[in-house]
Amino acid sequence: MELAAEVHALKRKFPAREGKELWNQLLRATMSVPSNIAEGAGRVHRGDYLRFLSIARGSLQEADTHLAMAVAFGYLSPDDIRRAESLSYEVLKMLTKLASVLAKPAPESATM
């Protein structure tokens, strides 16, 4: 959620007219990340959770691409997106670790 908040704070730097579409896509992508993590965590089956983590990871990559496009189009500077990129990298590491833990077989439960 911190990444989505950071991206939301960048809105004032986007040009009102020509940057609107990219801004909307960027915000949707960053909001999708925590939303998919939460939805996956609420699922009963581990495989469902992993699928939603994969979707969150895809949204994170999409957001990174939108940030790069915003710089390429001159809407933002590399300094403007530095914190968002750092947060994105941290989220990616967390998603990767969580997915790797969940992908391991569940321990056998003890029988009585």
What's the rounded mean pLDDT across residues 15-22? Answer: 88
Q: Which carries the bigger pLDDT value, residue 36 or residue 110?
A: 36
Please name the helix (run of DSSP H) or strand (run of DSSP E) that holds residue 52, with its range, or none. helix 46-72
CB 34 within 8 A of CB 1: yes
Residue pointed to by tokens 């994969």: 54
Average pLDDT, whole number, for the chain?
92
Of the pLDDT bands very low, low, confident and very high (cuts 50, 70, 90), residue 109 is: low
Class of domain 2-103: mainly alpha
**What are the tens digits of pLDDT across the range 74-92?**
999 999 999 999 999 999 9
CB 88 within 8 A of CB 63: yes
Quick one: DSSP state of residue 45?
S
Each domain of the chain, given as residue ranges in start order, spans 2-103
Quick one: DSSP state of residue 112?
-
Four-CA torsion 29, 61, 88, 5, nearest 10 degrees = -10
